[in-house]
Chains A and B, each alone.
Chain A
Amino acid sequence: DAGVTQSPTHLIKTRGQQVTLRCSPKSGHDTVSWYQQALGQGPQFIFQYYEEEERQRGNFPDRFSGHQFPNYSSELNVNALLLGDSALYLCASSQRGGSKNIQYFGAGTRLSVL
């Protein structure tokens, strides 16, 4: 059973560019959440997708957007990259409903903005 997979593993971009990160959830999971982890910090919630809609959003600007596909996979897009966007981006999947609120994380995509 494959866990949460993210691609690419590493990415280098320059300021002003746009980036797309991808996530495939764990089998049987229907909800995908994205987090940003700056160096030496705890992960910060970006947004959560369920049934192809953004259900909740953290304190991130509109430059951060996402999408969920019918197969539950998800993308995170960041436009007009800033140096401060350099971080590890983590995707987590879960199964909505009941007590199944455990989120399982992928290995992350490390984004460097130069």
Chain B
Amino acid sequence: GDSVTQMEGPVTLSEEAFLTINCTYTATGYPSLFWYVQYPGEGLQLLLKATKADDKGSNKGFEATYRKETTSFHLEKGSVQVSDSAVYFCALIQGAQKLVFGQGTRLTINP
């Protein structure tokens, strides 16, 4: 079945550092890919998405590019802030079906 693998956390960075969270997927078709963010005590918020190969999703300074050749969708941000501290989930979906999530990566940004 379809699956998503994220780099294991936790990840701890200093403010203004460069962020990369790796995500790779396995899917039989051509899924849409997402990054969701979960702040403490809250549900999931959609951060960005990409629906086909070579698409770049971006939002709030975060970016991720859908790489079909490497089946990857790595999340990047050039300069992180303390407010970016959260758990980040990579996910895929095919059609109107279920979302398949990675295990999540906890990010902590120190001032």
- Asked if A105 CB lies within 8 Å of chain B CBs, one says yes
- Asked if B44 CB lies within 8 Å of chain A CBs, one says yes
- Asked if A106 CB lies within 8 Å of chain B CBs, one says yes
Residue of B whose beta carbon sits closest to that of A58: B98
Q: Give the residues from 74 to 90 in chain A that come closer than 8 angstroms, CB to CB, to chain B.
A: 90
Would you call A94 and B96 a contact (CB within 8 A)? yes
CB < 8 Å A-B pair total: 59
Would you call A99 and B51 a contact (CB within 8 A)? yes
* Chain B residue contacts of A4, Cβ below 8 A: 43
- Asked if B22 CB lies within 8 Å of chain A CBs, one says no
CB-CB under 8 A for A41 and B103, given A105-B44, A107-B43, A108-B43: yes
Would you call A43 and B101 a contact (CB within 8 A)? yes
Would you call A92 and B96 a contact (CB within 8 A)? no
Would you call A42 and B104 a contact (CB within 8 A)? yes
* Chain B residue contacts of A40, Cβ below 8 A: 104
Would you call B102 and A101 a contact (CB within 8 A)? no
> Smallest Cβ distance from A52 to chain B, in angstroms?
16
Interface string of A5-18 (1 = CB under 8 A from B): 01000000000000
* Chain B residue contacts of A44, Cβ below 8 A: 101
Would you call A105 and B97 a contact (CB within 8 A)? no
Interface pairs (15), CB distance under 8 Å: A35-B99, A42-B102, A42-B104, A43-B44, A50-B96, A90-B43, A101-B93, A101-B95, A102-B34, A102-B46, A103-B46, A103-B99, A104-B46, A105-B36, A107-B42
Interface residues, chain A, CB within 8 Å of chain B?
A: 4, 6, 31, 33, 35, 40-45, 48, 50, 56, 58, 90, 92, 94, 96-97, 99, 101-108
Interface residues, chain B, CB within 8 Å of chain A?
A: 4, 32, 34, 36, 42-46, 49, 51, 89, 91, 93, 95-104
* A-B contact sample (14 more), CB < 8 A, given A41-B103, A48-B98, A99-B51: A31-B96, A40-B104, A42-B4, A42-B102, A90-B44, A92-B44, A92-B99, A101-B32, A102-B34, A102-B46, A105-B43, A105-B45, A105-B46, A106-B43
